[in-house]
Amino acid sequence: MISGWTANAALRFPFLEGTLFQSFPYLLPCILGAIFQLIIFTMAYFFLSESKFKREKLDEELGRAEEEKKIGVGWKETIHVLLVLIKSRSVVVAVACYGLLLFDCLLVDEIVAVWLSTSTQHGGMGFDSKQIGTYYSINGGIVIFLQIFIIPKLGDYFRQIAIFKTGCLLLTVVYIFLFFQNYFLSFGAFILWLAICIFALFKNGGASSVYIASLIMLNDSSPPGKLGAVNGLSMSTASILRAIAPIFGGFLFSWSLSAHYPYPFDYHFVTNFAAGLSCVIMGIGFLYRANEETLSTPLVQPDEELDKMMGREVEK
């Protein structure tokens, strides 16, 4: 929202005409982004306390041996853990769902930004930077509302795997019709932005519910004591796929515009591809089975020595 409303600042704010912001129209949003990063760095540096020293002091008070505090894992142990995870069906399915989901969502999000600024003659919306900023501010507001008030309630009534499958199905439908929003350009501003809000509600509802459900599926798939390794494997997989997604999506979109094929291979081809991938992810989700041993293991393991030191009564 901020970047869209502050781009081309000299055109929006007359008092900035003839300044550096007119020569560099995207300088102001870059400066604001740098200021926000500086604020975050300052807060983290001065107000976040270091936990390592407290842990070392606790180890000394508990009399733990130096060997027990070292967490050195060689490459052989790493490969062994990786092979153990790959042999687990629940881990492979959960990691595949998580990685492909991020690939799918990022592919669409990156192309939507290009599609919004593409001319209407080529199937785009023909938006300027201010309209694009408004578009993303609407999406951001809807995401905040959903994740605070709606998504947490779903877990009280439905299983996470059911939420995941339903979210994938919803994304499939939304992606198929996503670029048909340009049809509402001829109906006036009110109808257009109303349609954009409705599409944003369903798109972000599906993406948010699927994303949170996939994270819980990752935790539930992990063998006991291997949650860190599972998260590391999933993050590595997702990082590789997220690096590929913008390049692949840009290639598909540019090809669809230059090939001049009819629907579904015109400019809708990218979203149709994403819809098909959502179906594939939903199908993979049917193979998911949570690790029963993990579900029966308490999230917090008892530590009798720590309980005694902290003055807490130990239950026998």
Q: What separation in angstroms does the CA of 59 have from each of 49, 51, 65?
A: 18, 12, 8
Percent of the chain with pLDDT over 90: 57
pLDDT of residue 198: 97
Contacts for 268 with CB less than 8 Å, ≥ 6 apart: 123, 179, 180, 256
Q: Find tokens 């309209």 and name the residue.
A: 131
Structural contact between residues 206 and 143, judged by C-beta atoms closer than 8 angstroms: no
Question: Cα separation of 241 and 249, whole Å?
Answer: 12
**N- to C-terminal Cα separation, the chain:** 56
> What are the pLDDT digits (tens) for 180-195?
999 999 999 999 999 9
Query: How far is 57 from 64, CA to CA, in rounded Å?
Result: 10
Q: What is the pLDDT of residue 51?
A: 60
Per-residue pLDDT at 313 exceeds 70: no
With 60 as the cut, is the pLDDT of residue 87 above it? Answer: yes
Question: pTM for the complete prediction?
Answer: 0.79
Residue 271 has pLDDT above 70, yes or no: yes
**Per-residue model confidence (pLDDT) at position 108:** 96
Contact 126, 186 (CB under 8 A): no
**So what's the pLDDT on residue 294?**
57
Note the pLDDT of residue 111. 95
pLDDT higher at 222 or 146: 146
Neighbours of 156 (CB within 10 A): 6
Where does the pLDDT of residue 68 fall: very low under 50, low under 70, confident under 90, or very high at 90 and above?
A: very low
With a cut of 60, say whether residue 306 has pLDDT above it: no
Structure token pair of residue 298: 């308490």
Bigger pLDDT: 77 vs 151: 151
User: Which of 25-39, 50-64, 170-184, 266-280 shows the lowest mean pLDDT across its residues?
Assistant: 50-64
Confidence at residue 97, expressed as pLDDT on a 0 to 100 scale:
96
Mean pLDDT of 290-304: 56
Segment 25-38 mean pLDDT: 90
For 1, 21, 22, 125, 254, the CA distances from 14, given in Å and listed in that order, are: 20, 11, 10, 27, 36
